[in-house]
Amino acid sequence: MAADVVVIAETPEPSVLLIRRRNPPLGWAIPGGFVEPDEDLIDAARRELHEETGLEPPRLEQLATFGHPDRDPRGRTISVVYGARLHHAALPAAGDDAAAARWFPLTALPTSLAFDHATILAHVLARLVD
C-alpha cells in the first residue's frame, strides 16, 4: 500500500510539485511512498511528502485510489492519492528517496513520469484545478 500527494500551487501559473526519484524506477514522480504497517494512510501521505520535499500543507484531501496490477514494475502496489493546494509555491527541499524536488507549470509537465503518475495527474488535476 502506498500514499501519494499531488500538491498544486495556486500561483499566477498553477504548478504541481514533483520529485525526481533517487532509486529505480527513475524519473519524475508524485511525492509519496509506502505506508508503514502501523500507520494511518493520511499520516503516511504527510510523512512521505515531508521526507521527500520538506513541505507540510495544512490540509490534505483523499481524492482517489489507483490499483492497476501493472502500475508499479516492482510489484503489486495500491496507492491512495491525496491532494493539497498551496497559495504560493513554497521552496521544496529534496530528501529521502528524492534526488530533486521542483515545481512544474501545469502547461509544462515532464513528458515521461514514473509509474502511472501521468494517469494519476490527469485524474487529480481535473478535480483540483478550476
| Tens digits of residue pLDDT in 74-125 | 878 889 999 999 988 888 888 878 889 999 999 899 988 998 899 999 998 7
Q: Which letter, b or e, does each residue of 75-107 get, where b requires 16 or more Cβ atoms within 10 Å of its Cβ?
A: eebebbbbbbbbeebbebebeebbeebbbeeee
Contact 6, 16 (CB under 8 A): yes
Q: What is the pTM of this model?
A: 0.91
> Alpha helices, DSSP H only, in 6-116?
41-53
| Tens digits of residue pLDDT in 4-40 | 999 999 888 899 999 999 888 889 999 999 999 999 9
Helix (H) or strand (E) holding 127: helix 117-128
| Tens digits of residue pLDDT in 38-72 | 999 999 999 999 999 999 998 999 999 998 888 77
Count the residues in the chain.
Answer: 130
